[in-house]
Chains A and B, each alone.
Chain A
Amino acid sequence: NAGVMQNPRHLVRRRGQEARLRCSPMKGHSHVYWYRQLPEEGLKFMVYLQKENIIDESGMPKERFSAEFPKEGPSILRIQQVVRGDSAAYFCASSPRLGLAIYEQYFGPGTRLTVT
């Protein structure tokens, strides 16, 4: 059973370009979370999605960032017009969820974005 997959693992973009980060959850998981880890800092929640729904985007910057989790295919975190401050490791996690039970989140290896 493959774990959470993220690609690309490393991404280099020039300022002003767009970055697209992909996340395929574990088989059978319908909930995806995105976190960002700035250099020498802790992980910060960005957004929580179910298929075709954004459930909680309280951690997303108001501009340039968007996320989707379509009915088919991976979840996408999109950053438009990247700036140097966007350089970070972006982690995706997935979990099942049934009712009110809280399940552990399984993390992918991350995408390391470098903006030059």
Chain B
Amino acid sequence: DAKTTQPNSMESNEEEPVHLPCNHSTISGTDYIHWYRQLPSQGPEYVIHGLTSNVNNRMASLAIAEDRKSSTLILHRATLRDAAVYYCILRDQGGSEKLVFGKGTKLTVNP
């Protein structure tokens, strides 16, 4: 099952940055850190992934701790459309194809 730990819920205000933490203390050297999110009544949506270095894309940034035992998804300016459940998932390159979803963090964005 999922090998990550996330807070059950977080709250943010619109247009403020949001930092969503994820602990993965048993991560192996070949595990990639992936983030997906699921908006209400929709299918999950890929957000970002990384291995060791911090990553940026148009949706978010991913900050990975030096020891890789934790990471943080950063939404630079939250909007109401960012309200979703965010999942942090480890994927072993060359390993199982399936995504193992935990409970994720439910993000509420206040106007």
Contact = CB atoms under 8 A, between A and B. Distances in A.
Interface of A: 4, 31, 33, 35, 42-45, 48, 55-56, 58-59, 91, 93, 97, 100-102, 104-110
Interface in B75-102: 91, 93-94, 96-102
Nearest to A101: B93
Contact of B44 (A43, A48, A58): A43
B43 A110 contact: yes
In the A-B complex, the 3 residue pairs with the closest CB atoms? A107-B43, A104-B46, A45-B98
Contacts of A48: 97-98
Given A43-B101, A55-B97, A56-B97, A104 B42 contact: no
Given A102-B32, A104-B46, A106-B46, A59 B98 contact: yes
18 contacts: A33-B99, A35-B101, A42-B101, A42-B102, A42-B104, A43-B38, A44-B101, A45-B98, A56-B96, A91-B43, A91-B44, A93-B43, A93-B99, A97-B97, A102-B93, A107-B44, A109-B42, A109-B43
Interface in B1-22: none
Contacts of A58: 98
Contacts of A105: 44, 46, 99
A36 B38 CA distance: 14
Given A42-B101, A105-B44, A110-B42, 5 more contacts: A42-B104, A45-B100, A56-B96, A102-B93, A109-B43
